[in-house]
């Protein structure tokens, strides 16, 4: 979406994912404002829009007109048939045409895109899978894009499921610095050609590509790719009773084949050292696992099976069979210790370990992500009105009213009844994932004009602490500019924007993507590269160059975009991020005279070479 406008010569508008999560309907109003013709988002974004629309009272819904849209691509994660139906039903009356939704398939190794439903709109097979592309359409044929479904015995017949292989000019050359992995994925020979093995499973039927699963057990949540091995390491570090290398983590709800439920919920199968464990110990281990996985990966653990030693399913070569663990968890055929089944319902409190059976995963875990029905919306409104009205009618003090309203907001986001919401319990223990946390932040910002720190919610913050933070913000709003606001929140200015006083020098928790960037940066340092994210670019400008105006423009961009002022710092050997204050000067321009020099030798000059090293 960033390179296509440059190639095609048309305008584009880019929205921050966090901005969308705070207010999903802003995406639709932006499409309306700019009369957009093409848009793209993961499946969960369409679900969030339906949910936000249904939760918003009819009189307060924004003006939305989607009649100019030609294509709304849906890709980057499993596509749910129910999402497509709900979005069409909700926004069809607002101009969203029946063939505008275009499910698509692609991957980074193929320059993101492989195929899409350009002409046929939404097609759902009888088994619940959504068609993600027209394999033999004119554009693919012209560009030489080929798709093959491969099984153990060679190419699969039509309708049979196998691994999706791709051959086209868009296939990447390989993985940087990983020759063995490059050969494994990109060096597959078939019909005299080299093919990319995608690791995705699917089938072709009547010229349409259907994606059915993932061969490599990657967990995809809201467009994020998470590897089960990382989750398993967190589980094994939660308690010494858990045997290292004998743990399986898997996504309970993939969103494929009509599967419903929260996609950020995982199941865990873990061997333990002891043959018998008290119920209190099992409960303590389960809570430790839940907290660790949520803190490390922003995932919610829905079910855990504590297994007897040397019973976790493995291949003959000793690899964990995660899909088998998932299947056996569903049928309750894993070999658990006494009392070793544990689960939690995300609409209520955790369920104790038991042998009587596991709750139905769709019923126990699936209600939160699906768009609410009209009755659900009415029930939530009634619940919130009852809790707040009692205090308002009783003439409660302002701090008690604020506390009641915050309880309402958190209960609504977490899907908990008010009697189950303990203000002294950390929010992460209530089953609040990243999406629910952003909902809380957006609701608090809208209601109280206070922006909470997302990292704080995942660092054990309780509801009582949130009440205290908002109270401090109310006090801070009456102070002059020379006084500092609380570090974890800030008051909006008169234009609705967060100002940038001294709080921008604070140290805070990195986002998931920032953590990944930090890790890659450290790996680059170990390999001898000191500037992994510095990109030197040479521009040829004709005419007079006003250095003062250029410096002023760069300073303006520096001050406007906080991301340019971000730097990593280490606290207790853990990565943190710090935003440099606006008043600090950007990097100075360095002027180097190169008259008479060959442009090809420009970057070899000592001053310039030192600057980009």
pLDDT tens per residue across span 245-275: 889 999 887 565 555 567 778 999 999 989 8
The residue that leads in pLDDT, 431 or 278, is 278
Q: How confident is the model at residue 381 (pLDDT cuts 50, 70, 90)?
A: very low
* CB proximity list for 116: less than 8 A, separation 6 or greater: 71, 73, 75, 102, 103, 104, 105, 132, 133, 134
283: which 2 tokens? 């409960």
* Mean pLDDT computed over 372-393: 47
Residue 331 CB: number of other CB atoms within 10 A?
8
**Res. 167: pLDDT tops 90:** yes
The residue that leads in pLDDT, 255 or 461, is 461
Would you state the pLDDT for residue 386? 46
Would you state the pLDDT for residue 50? 94
Strands 300-307, 265-272: pairing kind:
parallel
pLDDT digits (tens, 9 = 90+) for 523-541: 777 666 655 566 666 777 7
Would you state the pLDDT for residue 268? 96
Is this model's pTM higher than 0.75 or not? no
Q: Compute φ and ψ for 76, nearest 5 degrees.
A: 80, -10
pLDDT digits (tens, 9 = 90+) for 338-347: 999 999 866 4
Closest listed residue to residue 77, CA positions, set 218, 281, 240, 272: 218
What domains, with CATH codes, occur in the chain?
A: 1-98 (3.40.50.12820), 117-216 (2.30.38.10), 225-365 (3.30.300.30), 374-495 (1.10.1200.10), 512-612 (no CATH)
**Res. 235: pLDDT tops 90:** yes
* CB proximity list for 491: less than 8 A, separation 6 or greater: 449, 450, 473, 476, 477, 485, 498, 499
What is the percent of the chain with per-residue pLDDT over 90, rounded to a whole number?
Answer: 30
CA–CA separation, 211 vs 198, rounded Å? 11
CA–CA separation, 326 vs 342, rounded Å? 14
Q: How confident is the model at residue 600 (pLDDT cuts 50, 70, 90)?
A: low
* Mean pLDDT computed over 338-367: 50
The residue that leads in pLDDT, 472 or 226, is 226
Q: How confident is the model at residue 26 (pLDDT cuts 50, 70, 90)?
A: very high
């Amino acid at each position: 979406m960033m390179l296509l406008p440059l190639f095609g010569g048309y305008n584009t508008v880019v929205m921050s994912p966090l901005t969308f999560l705070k207010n999903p309907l802003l995406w639709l109003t932006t499409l309306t404002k700019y009369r957009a013709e093409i848009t793209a988002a993961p499946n969960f974004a369409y679900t969030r829009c339906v949910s936000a629309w249904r939760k918003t009272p009819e009189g307060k819904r924004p003006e939305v007109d989607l009649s100019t849209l030609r294509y709304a691509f849906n890709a980057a994660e499993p596509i749910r048939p129910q999402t497509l139906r709900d979005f069409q039903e909700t926004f069809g009356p607002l101009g969203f045409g029946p063939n505008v939704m275009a499910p698509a398939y692609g991957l980074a190794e193929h320059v993101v895109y492989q195929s899409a439903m350009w002409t046929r709109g939404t097609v759902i097979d009888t088994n619940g899978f959504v068609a993600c592309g027209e394999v033999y359409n004119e554009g693919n044929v012209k560009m030489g894009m080929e798709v093959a479904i491969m099984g153990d015995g060679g190419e699969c017949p039509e309708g049979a499921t196998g691994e999706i292989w791709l051959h086209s000019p868009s296939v990447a050359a390989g993985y940087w610095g990983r020759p063995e992995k490059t050969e494994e994925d990109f060096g597959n020979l078939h019909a005299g050609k080299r093919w990319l093995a995608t690791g995705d499973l699917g089938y072709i039927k009547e010229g349409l590509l259907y994606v059915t699963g993932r061969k490599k057990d990657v967990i995809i949540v809201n467009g994020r790719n998470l590897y089960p091995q990382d989750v398993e390491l967190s589980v094994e570090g939660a308690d010494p009773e858990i045997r290292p290398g004998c743990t399986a983590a898997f996504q309970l709800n993939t969103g494929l084949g009509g599967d419903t439920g929260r996609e950020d919920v995982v199941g865990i199968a873990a061997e333990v050292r002891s043959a018998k464990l008290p119920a209190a110990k099992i409960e303590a281990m389960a809570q430790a696992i839940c907290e660790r996985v949520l803190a490390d990966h922003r995932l919610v653990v829905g079910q855990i099976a504590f297994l007897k030693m040397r019973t976790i399913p493995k291949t003959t070569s000793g690899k964990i069979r995660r899909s088998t663990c998932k299947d056996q968890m569903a049928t309750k055929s894993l070999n658990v210790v006494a009392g070793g089944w544990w689960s939690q319902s995300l609409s209520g409190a955790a369920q104790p370990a038991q042998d009587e059976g596991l709750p139905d995963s769709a019923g126990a875990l699936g209600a939160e992500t699906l768009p609410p029905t009209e009755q659900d919306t009415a029930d939530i409104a009634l619940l919130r009105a009852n809790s707040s009205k009692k205090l308002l009618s009783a003439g409660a003090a302002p701090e008690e009213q604020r506390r009641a309203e915050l309880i309402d907001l958190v209960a609504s986001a977490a899907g908990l009844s008010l009697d189950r919401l303990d203000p002294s319990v950390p929010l992460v223990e209530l089953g609040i994932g990243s999406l629910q946390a952003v909902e809380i932040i957006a609701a608090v910002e809208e209601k109280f004009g206070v922006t909470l720190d997302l990292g704080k919610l995942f660092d054990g913050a309780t509801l009582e602490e949130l009440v205290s933070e908002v109270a401090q913000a109310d006090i801070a709003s009456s102070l002059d500019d020379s006084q500092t606001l609380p570090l974890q929140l800030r008051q909006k200015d008169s234009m609705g924007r967060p100002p940038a006083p001294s709080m921008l020098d604070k140290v805070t928790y990195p986002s998931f993507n920032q953590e990944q960037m930090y890790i890659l940066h450290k790996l680059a340092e170990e390999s001898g590269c000191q500037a992994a994210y510095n990109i030197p670019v040479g521009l040829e400008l004709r005419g007079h160059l006003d250095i003062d105006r250029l410096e002023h423009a760069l300073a303006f961009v520096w001050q406007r975009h906080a991301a340019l002022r971000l730097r990593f710092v280490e606290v207790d050997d853990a990565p943190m991020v710090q935003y440099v204050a606006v008043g600090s000067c950007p990097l100075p321009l360095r002027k180097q005279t190169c008259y008479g020099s060959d442009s090809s030798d420009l970057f070899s000059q000592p001053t310039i070479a030192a600057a980009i090293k």
